[in-house]
Amino acid sequence: MDRREIAALLALIGRLDPRTIRTDKGEVADQLAQWHELLGDVPTATPYGWDALAAARQHIRTSPYQILPADIARPWESYRRDRLARHSDPTPSVDPDDQAAWAKELAETRRAVAEGTLQPARARAIESGREEINPRLQARLEQVGSCIPPAARAALAPYRPARAAREAAVAQGLPDALSVRCAWCLAQPGDSCRRRRIGPDGGARGTAPCAPHPSRLDLAAAQQAQLTEQTQQPALA
């Protein structure tokens, strides 16, 4: 606020609370200089919710104490903090290799949000839908059969034996045991089975990972047979 806006604010405050009115010219000048010194960086209003006149009116309405510059500066700082807390930095439009321009745009955006001239940018939510795959990527996937090339898959096999054994079983036409829930150790689909032991208290405990339990293999085989039967029925008809 400039001195003219400060004077208008003091005039409104004096109309609502005569205790703030100064009649001596020297006192009027001192009061105007003091308020301008403390509130010079506080805007009168912003497009998104801040209004210094409303803050002054709220204090006079709810507090028995004479209003001070701090009673307007505190709501303004709270307004700034709240807006910055709801802001997620959007990706700048400048070249990411230009670090100075990148940092400058981030700082200017944050300043505009804090000063109430720009709405806070919300973080984008993860979408549940699947976007269309790029045709070149789709062609490459059809060529290699997977997003992981065979050479890379073979190199990773020693470091993930459970995954390698699962892929080998599927390649041989065997049922994928990890595709179903284990009724014995209660391992969820995709998780390895664990040795289930009965503790002294009678409760079951799972310890180290182990090979799929026979009941889980049987269930996976039954589901695979059922799926195969369902896919063959239209052909037989």
163: which residues sit within 8 A by CB, 6+ positions away? 156, 157
- Among left, alpha and beta (phi > 0; psi -120 to 50; other), residue 202 is left
pTM recorded for the entire structure: 0.51
Instruction: Calculate mean pLDDT across residues 80-94.
Output: 90
- Where do we find the tokens 């400039």? 2
Q: Mean of the pLDDT values across residues 139-155?
A: 70
Place of tokens 């004479």: 66
Q: Which residue has the tokens 């079983």?
A: 169
Query: What is the band of 237 on the pLDDT scale with cuts at 50, 70, 90?
Result: very low
- Amino acid at site 180: V
DSSP secondary structure string, 191-232?
SPEEEEEE-TTS-EEEEEEESPPHHHHHHHHHHHHHHHHHHH
- pLDDT digit string, tens, across residues 45-73: 999 989 999 999 999 999 999 999 999 99
Can you tell me the distance from the alpha carbon of 56 to that of 75, in angstroms, rounded to the nearest whole number?
Answer: 10
- The 10s digit of each residue's pLDDT in 176-202 is 888 889 888 888 888 888 887 766 776
Q: What is the pLDDT, as a whole number, of residue 175?
A: 81
What is the C-alpha separation between 194 and 205, in angstroms, rounded? 9
Structure tokens at 66: 């004479």
Q: Is 33 left (phi over 0), alpha (psi -120 to 50) or beta?
A: alpha
Better-scored residue on pLDDT, 150 or 98: 98
What is the average pLDDT score of the chain?
84
Q: Provide the token pair at 2.
A: 């400039």
Please give the residue that has the higher pLDDT: either 166 or 88.
88
Q: How sure is the predictor about 23, in pLDDT bands with cuts at 50, 70 and 90?
A: confident
Q: Is 45 helix (H, G, I), strand (E, B) or coil?
A: strand
